Chains A and B, each alone.
Chain A
Amino acid sequence: MYKLDSILKRVEKPARYIGNEINAVHKDNHVGCNFAFAFPDTYEIGMSYTGLQILYNILNKEDDIWCQRVFAPARDMEEIMRNENIPLFALESKMNVKDMDIIGFTLQYEMSYTNILNMLDLAGIPLLREERDDSFPLVIAGGPCAFNPEPLADFIDVFLIGDGEELLPELCELYVEYKGKGKDAFLGAVSRLQGVYVPKLYEISYDENGFITSEFKPVLRAIVDDLDKVDFPTKPLVPLSDVVHDRAIVESFRGCTRGCRFCQAGMIYRPIRERSKDNIINIAKSEIENTGHDELSLLSLSTSDYSDFKGLALGLLDYCSANNVALSLPSLRLDSFSFEVLNEIQKYKKSGLTFAVEAGSQRLRDVINKGITEDDIYEAVSKAIDLGWRNVKLYFMIGLPGETYEDLDGIANIAKHILDIKREKNGGKLGKFNVTVSVSNFVPKAFTPFQWLGQNTAKEFEEKHNYLASQLYVKGITFNYHDNKTSELEALLARGDRRVGKILLNAYKLGAKMDSWSEHFDPELWHKAAQLAGLSIDFYTSRERDVNEALPWDIIDCGVSKAYLLSEYEKSKKALTTHDCRLSCTGCGMNRYTECKWGGCNE
């Protein structure tokens, strides 16, 4: 302890390395499986991630498993750890990660990949799986980015695809059973579980033009059929220092039925699975009682799509107002009931209202199947202004397929029209009112109908940003946009094949890390890294792919059929929309693998 003790006195925010938060689990480390849950970013980010809480709880329920946490140390801490040879340690026990059985990375966003390599290096574990013998921990990874695992395939022993609640404990159990029998025997056994991808068992070949030629039977993702049958933590970890989100959270449902064509989450979490209303309310109550939190939030892709949203919202509202808990309901669809609820929970303190409009014209919104009209927005904004809201936030994407400069004008016009609505109500004056226009760059993602599309180049994005900036230089409008170079590398890592692992390794060796933090991000390193690997970044990003081309992620089956994605892609070219599948089944193919209980429920 003394060595660590003297270090903690020299670093910023030492509380993030001590591991004794409220509800942290401490066990004897003589268990069958010492599991390091590794989040490849800092404590503040990682502790706000609900998946960590879910899996931490589920693993620690098992007597023979101790799940501890590991985060990427901040720069100051890393420097001291490297200078004084302190290997990466687990927060709870402070034991070296290298001495643990399994290290499991969660893949939430592509720009954290270099942190994975850095954490392995800090732990004293060879980066490449081929260079690790049986004496090293098993390195596994899961989470949304694992749906295209290939760029990390050289570094990770086992990928878990899909829902982890049932699969992860099963993997740990199997690990204990195979202890002493060698890693290869274990890999063979674990590869037979649904949702497990073992890259070592797949050899990838390419033709002379760089296209993949190998064919495989894809790995079907793991699917939890019924959310009420898996545990949700009622005693979550309560961070002691400031983190991004610090509140009680209940996941109300998983999946989304809207079918937006750019949205990966809307595809890979299908089918929609709701937690029962009573279960949600009971979890919320025990969570509040066990943590002392005074804020509660629901987690899902679209809060008000819950089938009995009215009942759920009123039930939670009752409990929260009786117990002085602030309720927050993100991503509401703004119908009259939502307004009633919002007005109730934000009585005195009105935060901003947010609309994910995504595109500037109805034609383009039809292309992406985003079912929101300008009338919907204006009607809601008008109501919101009457009720006293002063901040409206609009989210858009640029670089969408078939986008023209008229669509960009549409973005500016929507923002300006909202100012006009306010002026009209306010005797011609704007008063204290602001519209924030937030523009992100479209990254075509695996397992979406847009997976074949090419991304705009950084230059195209830049031109569009400049154009928008000139259109939005208006009093009362704040314009934000996302960095171009980051978006390019996101696309590279999201859509890359196994060879992209070489770019990643080169970039890391050249010094890239904490790439999601703008102050640390250096795109030049990545371009150099690609050059050294003899690969073209454009091949993976801006190139449109043929629908017959073998895709790097064809190795995975997310449950939604390729035929469905293709038909949605074709419809998008004709700006034809597809309805919400709560109305009736749209044939995505999920029901081949699990019951789709809510499909067609609003028929």
Chain B
Amino acid sequence: MSKYLIKFNKLSYAKYISHLDMNRMFRRIIRASGIKLSYSQGYNPHPKMNFAQPLPLAYEGYNEMLMIECDEFYETDFIEKALSERMPLGFEILSCVEMDQDIKSLAAIANYSNYTLFIPGEYTVEDVAGYLNQAEIKALKRMKKTKEYAWVDIKDKILAFELLEGKDEIQRSPFSLKADSRAESILSPELVIQSFLNYLNKEIPREEIDVERNEVALLKSVDKF
């Protein structure tokens, strides 16, 4: 059995492909490449592949991570090339490395994620400092179980939040966000956007804001050697 870590970018219009659809797409491309995935046991066997963290619809992703398991061994160069040739526009395969056999899934060892937010308007360093210095940072979150909205404090989950210099092509202000991504305490950038704009008493239509995920950092190295 071999395990591989594949890193890729998901950019431009590809960001409108949902996580589920992308999952199917990778499955097909891997199949078309002649790479045979291992299957789980049981009544409804499914191919063994998993992602570090689902990327929300309409987020661009850099250095996204996919882990696959195969019964046979393949050269990493072969996997990288075979997938690269077949990816639709907007996807780029960056690398493929063999993984440590002991790693079960990427999501279980996710640590934090770095995001870049692009928000229309003018902001100051003080805006950000004031926001972060609140005793509590309250955001309205839809709870998984009850499906109802509840106020939660996200202060501890914001590991860093900074205003960056300059503007993007359409004059939006860039921010960097380092957010907790551990399975038990994961923070969605949506809550930061919402609470930050709330703090500043600003209303900006959501579709005018863009988010990129730059990387998901893991708790430990996954390399085979």
- Measuring CB to CB, which residues of chain A are less than 8 angstroms from any residue of chain B? 1-2, 5-10, 14-15, 17-22, 24, 26, 238, 240-242, 288-294
Contact = CB atoms under 8 A, between A and B. Distances in A.
B32 A291 contact: yes
Interface in B60-105: 86, 88-90
Interface string B13-31: 1101110011011011111
Given A22-B86, A22-B88, A15 B28 contact: no
Contacts of B125: none
Nearest to B57: A14
B206 interface: yes
B13 A20 contact: yes
A18 B14 contact: yes
5 contacts: A2-B170, A10-B207, A14-B57, A20-B14, A240-B88
Contacts of B57: 14
Contacts of B24: 240
Nearest to B32: A292
B32 A9 contact: no
B186 interface: no
Contacts of B210: 5
Contact of A289 (B32, B58, B170): B32
Main DSSP-derived SS at the B contact region? helix
A18 B28 contact: no
A27 to B, nearest CB: 12
Interface string B34-54: 100000000000000000000
Contacts of A26: 89
B222 to A, nearest CB: 26
A291 B27 CA distance: 10
A516 to B, nearest CB: 25
Given A18-B17, A292-B30, 8 more contacts: A5-B210, A7-B207, A8-B13, A9-B58, A14-B58, A22-B86, A240-B22, A292-B32
B16 A18 contact: yes
Given A6-B208, A8-B58, A20-B90, A15 B17 contact: yes
B27 to A, nearest CB: 7
Contact of A290 (B25, B30, B32): B32
A24 B16 contact: no
A20 B205 CA distance: 27
B190 to A, nearest CB: 12
Given A8-B58, A240-B21, A20 B32 contact: no
Nearest to A239: B21
B17 A291 contact: no
A86 to B, nearest CB: 14
B21 A15 contact: yes
B206 A9 contact: yes
Given A9-B58, A18-B14, A18-B17, A293 B207 contact: no
Nearest to B169: A2
B28 to A, nearest CB: 3
A290 B85 CA distance: 11
B89 A8 contact: no
Nearest to B35: A292
B25 A22 contact: yes
Nearest to B210: A5
A8 B12 CA distance: 12
Contacts of B31: 292, 294
Interface string B144-180: 0000000000000000000000000110000000000
A242 B58 CA distance: 18
Given A2-B170, A6-B207, A10-B207, A22 B21 contact: no
Nearest to B205: A6
Contacts of B32: 288-292
Nearest to B18: A15
A292 B16 contact: no
Contacts of A290: 32
B207 A292 contact: no
Given A20-B13, A20-B14, A292 B29 contact: yes
A19 B13 contact: yes
A271 B12 CA distance: 47
B24 to A, nearest CB: 8
Contacts of A288: 32
Contacts of B13: 8, 18-20
A33 B86 CA distance: 27
A236 B16 CA distance: 21
Nearest to A22: B88
- Point out which of A21, A292, A293 has the most chain B C-beta atoms below 10 A from its C-beta: A292
